[in-house]
A and B are shown apart, each in its own frame.
Chain A
Amino acid sequence: MSPPAVVLAADDPEVVRLVRAAFEEEAVPLAVVATTDGATAAGHSPLGIGLGQRAGRIELVLAAASGSPYLVGDDARMMGRIAARLAARRPLGDLP
């Protein structure tokens, strides 16, 4: 069985580092896959929450509404924090 993780689809090491840091701070599990498509990531996430990269930006996608991203931002740490808090059901804080 897959762990109840949010899935990050990214190949940029700095994006991966910053998103991992956000998830570590929030104590929420994160899995990383090698694609960059947020909708695919959300589909792989048991929590239905995925992060992907498109045109240099970070997309947060919900599997239940994967037709368009839920949020898009440039700050990988912020987008990671939002995704982690969404999974943990905490207030999301600053938004892009």
Chain B
Amino acid sequence: MVVAGVDVGNATTEVAIARIGPGRPPEFLSVTRGPTTGAKGTAACADGVLDLIDRACRRLGEEPARILLADLHPVETGLRELSADEERDLGGVAVARPVSATPSGVGAAAGRLVDLDGLAGEPLGEPVIPIVPAIDFDEAAARLNDARARGWRVSAIIATADDGVLIGNRVDRALPIADEVTDAADLPRGAWAAVEVAPPGGAVSELADPLRLAVLLALDPARARGARNAARALVGHRAAIAVRGEASGGGSTRDAAPLATLADGSTIAVEAGTAPPPLGRVRTIEGVDAALLDAFWAPLPEPGDDARLALRLRARHAVGLAVLAERSGRDLEDALAERAGCEVVVVAAETAAAVAGASTTPGAGHAPIVIDMGGGTVDLHVGLDDAGRAVAAAGAGHLVDRICGAVLGVDHLRAEQAKRLPSVHVETPFILRHEDGSRTFLEQPAPARAVAHLCLAERRGASLDPLEADLAPEVWARLRRAAKRDVIAGNLRRAVEAIGGLPRGELAVLVGGCAEDQEVVDEVALALADLDLAIARGDILGRHGPRAAVAVGLVLLHAEAA
């Protein structure tokens, strides 16, 4: 009889086709995988399952008599982002952060916002900050010089176009000039404002300090405290503009973090500053419409050696959240039974199947400890005695994707690539700098859009995918590894604690998609170093690497039971 062991993961569906019969081991005919076509456990997944089975069976010329499934629990992974500092109540202070690489001058100055055309009249008796539209720099400079000669006190300049240095060189190189201010038209004329430009390589210090910001904008002490979100929103930027508006509530308003309710009825905030509770304690989370078996969250990683970047990341108030939900129906089983026209059998829990599959790794014998690191969960199965113990912790590869995506500002598909691929900085069209600081030379020039950007590098730099994130490859590599450490290694420690510890000196086999990632393997080895385990990557059936352990294990368990 031909059977199909099917593992429906959050990202990938794997199918192992085998011929089984009494008194002989299964003969594996095919192991394939493809994308999961719906939320794990739903009827929509049947499309992907049946497509894989059809393709394999067309090749083999045989149809399965049975589809073998594991008992599934869906995992939902997302990123919860509370309002970032610049989106909060800024205490009546509007901020702008031009991205120009070439502002002019250095320092901070305040004045009243006026149009360049407004300088044609009599001078105001106070400093002004002219807003220069996108006109020729020579004309703009001539009109500014004329106004200064007639008594206008220009304290700083805001330019719409990339003309800051050109205007500064023709007017006054000491004046702070913020240029490439694309939304200059929206700045409220007549309002009191401040402009700061930091030296090359630096970041604004006056506007990022709430008291200095308050002094520059002539805010009273009460409003100075309310401007702290505005000041924080400017941290790390080379040029910045702050505009005084109507007093608001004082900057104390902020989104409330969703609350998680634990098994004992207590609640805990799901936010960056709160550690997730031990495995299996969370029952519900506000905004998640499901009864939960587990929940795990992790903040964006922070570089320990770069306070400016750490503050920028912390200002996002973002946490990646994964929840493992209880399952209410048998939608996938029903859909497969109806459409495949064959029997569908739930053979075992995923963890038990993973152990059986992992034990096919050459040299493993019976794998007593199996760590299955997939897209949705980190599953730990310990089978050292007759009573095997298993736990599934919410949060694995997909949660790492979400966090990587939030750091880089990319969607989760590109984040998945960023998690996996090495990065490079394209220093010149011919020189790549790698994550370890080494450099290689290209035979053909890199595309112009990649130059001076952090890029994902496929095929050793033959394909360069530029990212907008202003990060050095060394820094990105540390953040990426930290995300893997926080989520997968951190979650594995939770699983180990939940299962009551692991025996020292035993063999632990790593399976699942994340086990293909050497960085994850390294982080797991580090997290479990105190247990002196022999940590090995699975090689299912000796030829499939760490993939398909569950699909193969389902076939093995079913054949054994039969």
Contact = CB atoms under 8 A, between A and B. Distances in A.
User: Do A and B assemble together?
Assistant: yes
Interface of A: 21, 24-27, 62, 64-65, 70-71, 81-82, 85-86, 89-92, 95
Interface of B: 101-102, 137, 162-166, 169, 427-430, 444-445, 448-449, 451-453
20 contacts: A21-B166, A24-B165, A25-B163, A25-B164, A25-B165, A25-B166, A26-B165, A64-B445, A65-B429, A70-B429, A81-B162, A85-B101, A86-B429, A89-B428, A89-B452, A90-B101, A91-B452, A92-B448, A92-B451, A92-B452
Please classify the interface of chain B as helix (H, G, I), strand (E, B), loop, or mixed, using the class held by over half of its residues: loop
B428 A91 contact: no
Contacts of A90: 101, 452
A62 B102 contact: no
Contacts of B169: 24
Contacts of A81: 162
A95 B448 contact: yes
A64 B430 contact: yes
A89 B433 CA distance: 13
Contacts of A95: 448-449
A26 B445 CA distance: 23
A71 B448 CA distance: 8
A21 B449 contact: no
Contacts of B430: 62, 64
A71 B452 CA distance: 16
A25 B162 contact: yes
Contact of B102 (A27, A86, A92): A27
Contact of B428 (A24, A25, A86): A86
A91 B454 CA distance: 10
Contact of B451 (A25, A64, A65, A86): A86
B102 A25 contact: yes
A62 B429 contact: yes
Contacts of A71: 448
A89 B165 contact: no
Nearest to A64: B430
Nearest to B430: A64
Given A25-B165, A26-B102, 16 more contacts: A21-B137, A21-B166, A26-B165, A62-B429, A65-B445, A70-B445, A81-B162, A89-B428, A89-B451, A89-B452, A91-B101, A91-B451, A91-B452, A91-B453, A92-B448, A92-B452
A92 B428 contact: no
B66 to A, nearest CB: 57
Given A65-B444, A91-B453, A27 B165 contact: yes
Contacts of B445: 62, 64-65, 70
Contacts of A65: 429, 444-445
A64 B445 CA distance: 9
A87 B164 CA distance: 19
A77 to B, nearest CB: 9
A64 B164 CA distance: 32
Contact of A24 (B166, B448, B451, B453): B166
